[in-house]
Amino acid sequence: MAHKFEIYKDKAEAFRVRFSYNSEVMFSTQGYSSKASAQNAIDSIKKNSPGAPVEDNC
């Protein structure tokens, strides 16, 4: 698979989500106190991002 979401624990034991495409990390989220909250973040990104506008600040 070329892309994936991954839930992992950081050094502070917070749950985080990172998104990778072709094995390159594209972004990671803030830390969450529960795995369920991290999964909610993934669900929200999937639901709300298809039509997200691109803002060019250059």
* Whole-prediction pTM: 0.82
The string of pLDDT tens digits covering residues 13-34 is 999 999 999 999 999 999 999 9
Task: Say yes or no to pLDDT of 8 above 90.
Answer: yes
- Are 24 and 40 spatial neighbours (Cβ–Cβ below 8 Å)? no
- Does CATH number 3.30.160.160 belong to domain 3-44? yes
Q: Which runs of E-coded beta strand occur in 1-58? A: 3-9, 15-21, 24-28
**CA–CA dist 53, 36 (Å, integer):** 27
Task: Say yes or no to pLDDT of 1 above 80.
Answer: no
Q: Where are the domains of the chain?
A: 3-44
